[in-house]
Structures are given as structure tokens and as C-alpha cells.
């Protein structure tokens, strides 16, 4: 990655296992429905119930101790690796961060998930052998100060609202 190809920050989001299944009322994406600014897969109660029954274990919901451990792990990961954590919001079923890092976003995402799980195990609030996280996660590139600001605002204050378009009017 050349210097001119490094974004100012990334919006990294990852979900707890089983917390947002295909068919969900919020819509969903898959490898065929994941292009920017295209519609989600529409809700389908039967498909959601099918996917719920297909889970290998119960969906994960983070309690207060787990959320605290996850936040501490992400902060420590950023400190150790020299990444700038601009915003964090650890929810019961997902985690949002805005982070500036000279690493690829997949490495950042994987480090956050691995270290969060490790920290929960060390503090005794995650005793399972399996990961609490769903596979993959979202990695949005934030190229301008305005898009970084919008992402930070969303992570800190915009939970429950529709994800904003971080790139609108960025040319101004």
C-alpha cells in the first residue's frame, strides 16, 4: 500500500455471532448483495427462522463486563500497535470503531476480534472455546476529514439510526 493509498481512517464494524441473520427485518447482505449504495436483501421471516435454527450455538449478546473487556482490548491494541483510535462504541451485539492505522483494514479487524476475545477470556467473562464473533466484518475506508468526522459522529451518537453516507459532499 503506497502512502497515497492509505485512507485517513477506517470504520471497522464487527458483529456478535448470530446477531444479524439473513431474513432479518433490517435487511442483510451477502456476497451477491454487497455493492455500495445497493439495496439489502429484503426481510423474510421464514428465512430468518431457518437461519436461526441452522446456528451451531446460541446467538451471542455481550453483557457489561464483556463490553468493558472488549473496549479495553481495542484501546490496548491501538496503543501497542501505534494506531489512533478515534471513536469506539461496544454495543450488546456489535462493535464500531473509527481507527487510523497504516495497516490494512483486515489486519485491524482481525486484531480487534482476537484481542477482544483474549481479554474476555483473561477476565473470566468469556469461558467458551469458540469465538463470540461472526465471520468477517465491515471495513469502510474514510478518505477525507469530513468522512472521518461523520463516521465518528455515527459511532458515538448515531446508534439506532440508518448508517449515513460518509462520502456525500466530500469534494467540497
Residue 35 has pLDDT above 80, yes or no: no
Encode pLDDT of 40-56 as tens digits.
Answer: 777 677 867 776 777 78
Residue 141 pLDDT:
95
Residue 19 pLDDT:
77
Helix extents (H) in 35-141 = 45-54, 64-81, 105-122
At 4, the pLDDT band (50, 70, 90 cuts) reads low
User: What is the set of domains in the chain, with CATH numbers?
Assistant: 1-18+61-172 (3.30.70.1290), 20-58 (no CATH)
More confident residue, 127 or 170: 127
Residue 2 pLDDT:
45
Q: Is 111 helix (H, G, I), strand (E, B) or coil?
A: helix
Amino acid at each position: 500500500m503506497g502512502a497515497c493509498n492509505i485512507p485517513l481512517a477506517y470504520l471497522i464494524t464487527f458483529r456478535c455471532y448470530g446477531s444479524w441473520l439473513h431474513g432479518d427485518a433490517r435487511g442483510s447482505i451477502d456476497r451477491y448483495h454487497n455493492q455500495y449504495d445497493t439495496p439489502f436483501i429484503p426481510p423474510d421471516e421464514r428465512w430468518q427462522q431457518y437461519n436461526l435454527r441452522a446456528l451451531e450455538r446460541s446467538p451471542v449478546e455481550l453483557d457489561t463486563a464483556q463490553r468493558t473487556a472488549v473496549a479495553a482490548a481495542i484501546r490496548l491494541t491501538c496503543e501497542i500497535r501505534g494506531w489512533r483510535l478515534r471513536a469506539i462504541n461496544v454495543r450488546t451485539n456489535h462493535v464500531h470503531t473509527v481507527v487510523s492505522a497504516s495497516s490494512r483494514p483486515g489486519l485491524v479487524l482481525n486484531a480487534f476480534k482476537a484481542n477482544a476475545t483474549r481479554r474476555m477470556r483473561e477476565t473470566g467473562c468469556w469461558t467458551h472455546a469458540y469465538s463470540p464473533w461472526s465471520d468477517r466484518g465491515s471495513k469502510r475506508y474514510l478518505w477525507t476529514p469530513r468522512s472521518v468526522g461523520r463516521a465518528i459522529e455515527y459511532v458515538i451518537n448515531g446508534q439506532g439510526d440508518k448508517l449515513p453516507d460518509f462520502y456525500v459532499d466530500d469534494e467540497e
